[in-house]
Amino acid sequence: MPPAVAQEHMEHWLIEGARHVAGEVRLRHIRNMEPFYLRRNYQPVWLDSFELRPEAKELLEMLRETAVDDWRNYGYSLETLERETRRLTNVPEQATAMEVLLTDAFVTYAEQALNNELVPNADENDHPTVKKVVLSGDDRITEEQIIQLLHEAVRQNRLDELLASMAPQHEGYRRLRAELKRYRDIDRTGGWRPLSHELTLTAGDRHVDVPYLRWLLDQYGDLPGGTLSWLIPGEETIAPPGREKQPDLSKPEFLFDGPVRAAISNFQKRHKLEPTGSLNKETIDQLNVPPYQTAQRIALNMKRWRHLPSDLGDRHIMVNMADFSMRLMNNGSPELEMKVIIGRLNRRTPVMTDMMRIIEIAPTWTVPPRIASSYLLPKLKRNPDYLKQKGFDVLQWQNGSPVHVSADDINWKKYSARHLPYTFVQRPGKLNALGTVKFLFPNDQSIYLHDTSSPELFAKDKRALSSGCVRVEHPRLLAEKLLQSQDGWHRGRIDEAIDHNRTSRIRIKNPVPVHLMYWTTWVDDDGQLQIREDIYQRDLIGGTATHASL
C-alpha cells in the first residue's frame, strides 16, 4: 500500500474514526496506537499487499481459541474481525480498518495473557490466601509496554515469536489445541444431531442411525483407522451421512458391527464409563453433548495450562483433581502413578504449583483451627472420650509456650467455634488422619500430600472426600521414590520408622515441583482426548457461544 494512501486512511481510523472503526468498533488502545503507527510511517503490521500476513492469521486463530469458551467478554471485536476478514479486498479504507482492529485486539489479548487474566479458577476462596494470580499495581504489564514489545518484534522480524510467547508451550497445551480444532470442525459441518435415548443396539443389529453413529465416532477419533473408507472409497470426508426415509437395511453401512462396538467402547473409556460397547443411557448422554460445548470445555482447559511454569521440572509430581490421579514424571515419562483423594465440594483443593521440600515419616497431625471448630468440637460435645479414642493430645498456650492439659478436665460444652483456646495434636500411628507419611511444600493454604487412615476410600470412583489436602494411594512408595535412599532413607528404614511410630522429618536434597491441576479435558499419552465430570463445577461456561464464534 503506498505510504501516502496508508497514512490518509490510518489517520482517519486513529483520529476522527476511532469510535466507529468498520462502522461499529470503538478502539480501546487508541492513545498508544497512534504514536506506534506514526513511528512506522503508517505502514501496516498485519497486512501485506491487502492480504493477511501469516502472523495475522495466527493472531486471529489465537483470538478464536481464546473466546470459544464464552467464559467472559474478551473484548476482541471478533465478530467484526471475522466479517472484515471475509470481505477483505484491495480497498484501502477497508484494509486499514482491518489493520487497526487487529492491533487493538492484539493489545487487549496481550494485556490479558501477560497479566494472568486468562487463568481460570484464580479467585476461589475455599482456602484463603494472600497470593494473587492476576497481576495488579506496579506488577502489571502496561499497554505502553505491550506496544513497545510489538514495535521491537516487528522491527526485528520476530512477530511470530512474540505471538507464540503469549500462549503456553507445553505439549499438553498443543495437543488440546489440535483437539479444539477437531471439535470446531465437526461443529462447522452442521451435521451433528442428538441420538434418541430409545436407540438400543446389539451385535448384528441393523438400524438407520448406524451410518451416522459410525461417522460421529470417526470424527471423534474413536473408530479404527480405515474403517470408514470402505463405505466412502477414494477420499476422506467430513460430511455426515443423510438419514434415509426408506433405507435398504441390508446394506453393510447399516450393520452394528465389531468396529462400531469397539469404537463405542473406546468412547466410553475416554469418558470414564464402563466400556461395554453398547449404547446405554450414560453413553448416549455423552454422545449427545454438542461438539461446540466440548470445544468450549477444551478451550477453558487450555487456559488452565497458564497456571503452570514454562519448565515443569525434569522430575515433577502432577495431580489431576478431575481424574483423581497423580503421576510422578521423570523426563517426560511416568515413573509412578496412583489414585488420589481430593477436597470435598465445600473445601475444594486449590489449583497451585510449588516445590516439595520435606517428607515427614510417621507424622503427627496438628488440627487446623477451622477443622477443630467446625468438625472436632461438635464431636467432643457429643463424646468427650473421642480424643482418647483417636489418640489426640490437647495443648494450651501459656506464657507463649504450649502446655499439655488433660482433656478430662475440660467441659467442651462451654466452648464455641468462636472461642476454642486449645490446639489438638494427633499422635503418630494407625489412627492418625495423615496416615504414615506427609509430603510438604510451603504454601499459605496449609495444603499438602499425605497418606490416610481410611485406605478403603480409594475403592470409590469419585473421591472428593478430604478437607482440601491430597491423599495419595501409595505413600511409602512415593516417599521411597522421592528420597532415592538419600542419607540412608531406603524403603526398609522408612517402614521401620513407620512401624515404630518414630516421627522423622527429612529435607529432600533435590526438591521436586508439585503441580495440583484441574483438567476435565486433556490428551493422554496415546493421543486420546480424555473427558471427565466437572466434579468441582469449575468449568464456568456460559453456554451462549454462537457457532460463528467457533
Burial class (CB in 10 A: 0-12, 13-18, 19+), 40: middle
Convert the pLDDT of each residue in 31-44 to its tens digit: 999 999 999 999 99
DSSP state for residue 494 in the 8-state scheme: H
Domain termination site, one of 167, 202, 225: 167
If asked whether residues 154 and 78 sit together in one domain, one would say yes
The predicted model gives 59-77 an average pLDDT of 94
Give domain status of residue 535, yes or no. Answer: no
**Would you say residue 542 has pLDDT above 60?**
no
- Of the candidates 9, 29, 450, 474, the residue annotated as catalytic is 450
Percent of the chain scored above 90 by pLDDT? 75
The predicted model gives 365-390 an average pLDDT of 92
If asked whether residues 322 and 436 sit together in one domain, one would say yes
Domain termination site, one of 167, 185, 219: 167
Convert the pLDDT of each residue in 134-149 to its tens digit: 877 888 999 999 999 9
Q: CA end-to-end span of the chain, whole Å?
A: 32
Convert the pLDDT of each residue in 190-201 to its tens digit: 999 999 998 988
**Would you say residue 549 has pLDDT above 60?**
no
Convert the pLDDT of each residue in 436-462 to its tens digit: 999 999 888 889 999 998 999 999 999
Q: Residue 227: which pLDDT band, with cuts at 50, 70 and 90? A: low
In whole angstroms, what is the distance from residue 277 CA to residue 121 CA?
A: 36
If asked whether residues 409 and 271 sit together in one domain, one would say no
How many domains does the structure of the chain reveal?
3
The predicted model gives 265-277 an average pLDDT of 96
Give domain status of residue 236, yes or no. Answer: yes
Q: Residue 507: which pLDDT band, with cuts at 50, 70 and 90? A: very high
The predicted model gives 224-238 an average pLDDT of 56
Question: Beta-carbon neighbour count of residue 188 at 10 Å?
Answer: 15
State the pLDDT at residue 399.
Answer: 86
Domain termination site, one of 228, 254, 289: 289
If asked whether residues 414 and 468 sit together in one domain, one would say yes
If asked whether residues 316 and 285 sit together in one domain, one would say no
HSE-CB at 366 with a 13 A cutoff on CA atoms is 7
If asked whether residues 273 and 356 sit together in one domain, one would say no
Give domain status of residue 223, yes or no. Answer: yes
The predicted model gives 335-350 an average pLDDT of 96
**Would you say residue 548 has pLDDT above 50?**
no
If asked whether residues 272 and 413 sit together in one domain, one would say no
Give domain status of residue 258, yes or no. Answer: yes
**Would you say residue 234 has pLDDT above 60?**
no
**Would you say residue 236 has pLDDT above 60?**
no
State the pLDDT at residue 11.
Answer: 86
If asked whether residues 110 and 208 sit together in one domain, one would say no
Instruction: Tell me which residue range forms the domain holding 508.
Output: 311-524
321-330, 375-384, 410-419, range with greatest mean pLDDT? 321-330
State the pLDDT at residue 427.
Answer: 95
Strand partners, 341: 471
Residues 6+ apart with CB under 8 A from 142: none
**Would you say residue 232 has pLDDT above 70?**
no
The predicted model gives 279-299 an average pLDDT of 95
Residue 419 falls in the annotated catalytic set: no
In whole angstroms, what is the distance from residue 122 CA to residue 304 CA?
A: 10
Q: Three-state SS for 334?
A: strand
Q: Three-state SS for 8?
A: helix
Burial class (CB in 10 A: 0-12, 13-18, 19+), 51: exposed
Question: Beta-carbon neighbour count of residue 353 at 10 Å?
Answer: 18
If asked whether residues 269 and 318 sit together in one domain, one would say no
Give domain status of residue 302, yes or no. Answer: no
Residue 474 falls in the annotated catalytic set: no
Convert the pLDDT of each residue in 8-58 to its tens digit: 888 888 888 778 888 888 999 999 999 999 999 999 999 998 999 999 999
State the pLDDT at residue 313.
Answer: 96
Helix axes 143-155, 92-114, angle to 10 degrees: 120
- Of the candidates 127, 307, 469, 474, the residue annotated as catalytic is 469
**Would you say residue 118 has pLDDT above 90?**
yes
**Would you say residue 247 has pLDDT above 90?**
no
If asked whether residues 199 and 162 sit together in one domain, one would say no
Question: Beta-carbon neighbour count of residue 230 at 10 Å?
Answer: 9
Q: Mean pLDDT across the chain, nearest whole number?
A: 91
Q: What is the pTM of this model?
A: 0.90
316, 514 in Cβ contact below 8 A?
yes
The predicted model gives 186-214 an average pLDDT of 91
**Would you say residue 288 has pLDDT above 60?**
yes
Please tell me the least confidently modeled range out of 154-168, 402-416, 466-480.
402-416
State the pLDDT at residue 82.
Answer: 95
If asked whether residues 241 and 331 sit together in one domain, one would say no
State the pLDDT at residue 535.
Answer: 95
Task: Label residues 244-278 b or e (16+ Cβ within 10 Å = b).
Answer: eeebeeeeebbbbbebbbbbbbbbbebbbbebebb
Question: DSSP labels for 231-287?
Answer: TSTTS---PPPP--SS--TTSGGGB--HHHHHHHHHHHHHTT----SS--HHHHHHH
Give domain status of residue 238, yes or no. Answer: yes
Cell of 275: 466400556
**Would you say residue 121 has pLDDT above 80?**
no
Question: Beta-carbon neighbour count of residue 122 at 10 Å?
Answer: 15
Convert the pLDDT of each residue in 496-505 to its tens digit: 999 999 999 9
To the nearest 10°, the Cα dihedral for 310, 312, 313, 316?
170
Cell of 546: 454462537
Give domain status of residue 116, yes or no. Answer: yes
Reading phi first (left if > 0) and then psi (alpha if -120 to 50, else beta), residue 287 is in alpha
Give domain status of residue 58, yes or no. Answer: yes
CATH number assigned to the domain comprising residue 197: 1.10.101.10
The predicted model gives 457-475 an average pLDDT of 96
State the pLDDT at residue 226.
Answer: 60
CATH number assigned to the domain comprising residue 316: 2.40.440.10
**Would you say residue 543 has pLDDT above 50?**
no
Cell of 252: 453393510
**Would you say residue 230 has pLDDT above 50?**
no
If asked whether residues 209 and 70 sit together in one domain, one would say no
